[in-house]
């Protein structure tokens, strides 16, 4: 019988892969805006639709880790959760959910910030994926040896 940790980290791997694809999509959309293949309204609409799903998916990981007692995994995810909450609280005044304001996205500093944020979060999700994969394999080997 496979352990609870195995299934927990398997689910975390699936969520981190989804988040990684979302960040790659984020980087592609930012690059399209930089190269004038996309207009600011389309950019903001596309990425604002991904913000809440990304934040909810990522918030689900530390909550599950906290409830299951995986403290290191919880602490590993905590800084990005705090960043997401602060980023959403400090978002520009908008009528709908999201953090990207189409009136300022063409600003060079904003564009640089979006690119840097995308790469950092992409790196975080890759490291998380590898960490979860390692823990899943440890849980699998432990449960197979134990039974």
Label residue 61 exposed, middle or buried (CB < 10 Å: 0-12, 13-18, 19+): buried
Angle among Cα 137, 139, 140 to the nearest 5 degrees reads 60
Name the phi and psi angles at 101, rounded to 5: -95, 120
Cβ burial 115-138 (10 Å sphere, 16+ → b, else e): bebbeebbebbeebbebbeebbee
pLDDT value of residue 7: 94
Mean pLDDT per 10-residue interval, the chain, length 147 residues? 90 97 94 89 90 94 95 95 93 82 84 92 96 96 86
pLDDT value of residue 109: 87
pLDDT value of residue 67: 95
């Amino acid at each position: 019988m496979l352990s609870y940790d195995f299934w927990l980290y398997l689910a975390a791997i699936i969520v981190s892969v989804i988040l990684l694809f979302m960040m790659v999509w984020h980087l592609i959309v930012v690059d399209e805006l930089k190269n004038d293949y996309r207009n600011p309204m389309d950019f903001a609409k596309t990425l604002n639709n991904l913000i809440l799903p990304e934040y909810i998916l990522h918030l689900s990981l530390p909550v599950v880790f906290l409830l299951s007692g995986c403290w290191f995994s919880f602490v590993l995810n905590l800084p990005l959760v705090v960043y997401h909450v602060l980023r959403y609280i400090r978002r520009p005044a908008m009528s709908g959910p999201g953090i990207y304001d189409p009136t300022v996205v063409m600003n060079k500093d904003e564009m640089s910030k979006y690119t840097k944020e995308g790469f950092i979060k992409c790196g975080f999700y890759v490291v998380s994926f590898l960490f979860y994969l390692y823990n899943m394999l440890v849980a699998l080997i432990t449960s197979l040896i134990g039974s």
